Structure 1
Amino acid sequence: MSHHQRAMAFDYGTRQIGVAVGQTLTGSAEPLANLRARDGIPDWEQIGKLIKEWKPDILIVGLPLNMDGSDSEMSTRASKFARRLEGRFQLPAQCIDERLSTFEAKQQLRDQRRTPGSYRDNPVDSLAAALLLETWLASQPKENS
């Protein structure tokens, strides 16, 4: 019996939250949306609509740890966000280390010849969410088909 999971990932930030979706079947993820947040508080209704539309089995939240692996103020807030997601939408939420995902997302945009000024309308946060989701997907056990 194989159970393929659809996952939704969040790159948590105080002003924007990037969202991406992916699945264990293909191991790939795609950027979905950048949601506005006010001091880290998202529009829960927007998140609810995305969850209703994509029907994920699990929610993944990037944990922005300090480079030495210790908690940061943002990782504490991201953990709290994950617990709220879990409680609000009755779905398992898992936090994963995302120390380099935003950096990597900006690097990818740079490689695509995007200018730093265009990041505002670029999906850097949703791209970071897709990168952290791909990291999570790659860590999942492979199923025999």
Structure 2
Amino acid sequence: MNLSGGTVLAFDFGLKRIGVAVGNTVTRNASPHKIIHAPTNDGKFAEIAALISEWQPFCLVVGVPRHPDGAEHEMTVRCRRFANQLNGRYNLPVMQVDERYSSAIFQAGKGEYIDDASAAVILQQYFDENP
């Protein structure tokens, strides 16, 4: 996809939390933004809708995990479903990025959530792979 310009939101999807990062195609830098902790899907999508309303992104990015050898697993399917739901609900293009090692880049302390930082790694990878 040719990045014409604008804000991009990225998501590190998890069953309990969703990390969110924001960036734009001018600076091509991604920043951790927040972690969504809503206990229900409706609550998660309500928070995502508020973020989309606030940031007005021109596209969304979702990290899709795989095994180290590239094989798919259960979370691969769930993340793709999440990406499809984002596209269907918000009518925005959704790009999928291989997130195999996004969480491994950070050394998290006990009880520390890194989902927003992982989302920033996913978004930065998207920027780097799409000049």
Q: TM-score, normalised by structure 2?
A: 0.90
- Equivalent residue, structure 2, for 1:117: 110
Find the aligned partners of 2:62 and 2:84 in 1 and give their Cα distance: 10
1:102-143 CA-to-partner distances (Å, cap 9, x unmatched) read 111x23x5xxxxxx2241xx4x100000011000011122xx
Tell me the secondary structure at the aligned position of residue 69 of structure 2: coil
- Runs of 4+ with deviation above 3 angstroms: none
Aligned residue in 2 for 1:113: none
SS at match of 1:26: coil
In the alignment, the residues of structure 2 paired with residue 77 and residue 6 of structure 1 have an alpha-carbon distance, to the nearest angstrom, of: 25
Cα deviation digits, residues 70-98 of structure 1 (max 9, x gap): 11100100000000000000101111100
- Measured at CA, do residues 10 and 57 of structure 1 come closer, stay the same or move farther in structure 2, by a change above 3 Å? same
2:128 corresponds to 1:135: no
3-state secondary structure, aligned to 2:37:
strand
Name the count of aligned residue pairs.
Answer: 128
**Offset, 1:38:** 4.3
Question: Counterpart of 1:81 in structure 2: which amino acid?
Answer: F
Pair 1:71–1:16, CA change in 2 (3 A): same
Matched, 1:35 2:36: yes
The alpha-carbon deviation at position 5 of structure 1 amounts to: 2.8
User: Where does 1:1-145 land on structure 2 (aligned, <5 Å)?
Assistant: 3-38=4-39, 41=41, 43-104=44-105, 106-107=106-107, 116-119=109-112, 122=113, 124-141=114-131
Q: Give me the TM-score of the superposition, normalised by structure 1.
A: 0.82
List alignment gaps of at least 5 residues for structure 2: none
Show structure 1 runs of 5+ residues with no match.
110-115
Greater C-alpha Rg? 1
